[in-house]
């Protein structure tokens, strides 16, 4: 049985193009299109069964992506949601992940990578572009990561929308020391970016969202 996909984007050409690609994937089919958040909520109420996965644009009229994600998470907790955007800045990524997305996908990604992402979301419940499947298998079998107090403090601040300089000021540290904490946690969590760090911290219940 194919996984069902819903796509929400205010650019209709992009909306239909992504849908055409998804429909070529043997394990998936698009069952719902919407052009904004309000349109999506109406369509979800009208369908008998909601899609397994929603691909949600970050910036849309009437309702921002993060607001929409939060509403869907509350009303339809079984739906897995992935953000879809041209922007890869930390602030937008963290906002969407905290709202309830299990992945953050870029609109210029290769269609083959999109198929992999959808499969990972269906099977694992999340997709992290910054960690390989092998690393995930290793992480699942490991004991919880041991964090020092200052590392935990840095981790909590890194999972906010603060810049590294603002984190340094808040911790009363130099920016060089903060970068040292960042490098240490990247190593401990086996990630390559702040986004990967946030996703792992959420997955391992080290922070609450």
d(CA 19, CA 90): 27
More confident residue, 208 or 22: 22
Residue 81: what pLDDT? 94
More confident residue, 117 or 146: 117
Write down the residue that tokens 């060089």 correspond to. 176
Question: The whole model's pTM is what?
Answer: 0.66
Tokens of 44: 């979800």
pLDDT band at 195 (very low <50, low <70, confident <90, very high): confident
Of 3-12, 100-109, 111-120, 121-130, minimum mean pLDDT range: 121-130
53-57 vs 3-8, strand pairing mode = parallel
pLDDT, one tens digit per residue, over 70-111 is 999 999 999 999 999 888 776 777 788 888 888 888 888 889
Cβ(56)–Cβ(32) under 8 Å? no
State the CB neighbour count (10 A cutoff) for residue 102.
21
Indicate the average pLDDT of the chain: 86
Residue 135: what pLDDT? 36
d(CA 36, CA 207): 30
In the predicted model, is pLDDT for residue 143 greater than 60? no
DSSP conformational letter for 143: P
In the predicted model, is pLDDT for residue 112 greater than 50? yes
Residue 144: what pLDDT? 65
Residue 136: what pLDDT? 40
Residue 79: what pLDDT? 95
Longest distance between any two alpha carbons in the chain, whole Å: 55
State the CB neighbour count (10 A cutoff) for residue 87.
13
Residue 134: what pLDDT? 37
More confident residue, 196 or 116: 116
Angle at 85 between CA 175 and CA 202, to 5 degrees: 55
What average pLDDT score do residues 40-51 get? Answer: 93
pLDDT band at 133 (very low <50, low <70, confident <90, very high): very low
Say what percent of the chain tops pLDDT 90: 55
More confident residue, 184 or 207: 184
């Amino acid at each position: 049985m194919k996984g069902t996909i819903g796509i929400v984007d205010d650019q209709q050409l992009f909306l239909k193009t992504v849908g055409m690609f998804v429909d070529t994937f043997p394990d998936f089919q698009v069952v719902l299109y919407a052009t904004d958040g309000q349109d999506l909520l109406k369509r979800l109420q009208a369908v008998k069964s909601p899609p397994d996965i929603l691909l949600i644009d970050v910036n849309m009229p009437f309702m921002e992506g993060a607001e929409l994600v939060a509403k869907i998470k509350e009303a339809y907790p079984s739906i897995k949601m992935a953000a879809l955007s041209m922007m890869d800045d930390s602030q937008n990524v963290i906002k969407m992940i905290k709202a309830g997305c299990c992945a953050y996908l870029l609109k210029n990604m290769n269609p083959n990578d999109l198929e992999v992402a959808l499969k990972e979301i269906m099977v694992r419940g999340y997709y992290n572009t910054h960690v390989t499947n092998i690393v995930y298998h290793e992480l699942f079998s490991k004991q919880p990561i041991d964090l020092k107090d200052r590392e935990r403090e840095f981790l909590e601040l890194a999972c906010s929308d603060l810049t590294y300089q603002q984190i340094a000021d808040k911790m009363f540290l130099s920016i060089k020391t903060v970068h040292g904490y960042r490098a240490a946690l990247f190593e401990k969590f086996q990630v390559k970016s702040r986004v990967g760090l946030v996703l792992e911290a959420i997955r391992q219940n080290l922070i609450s969202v």
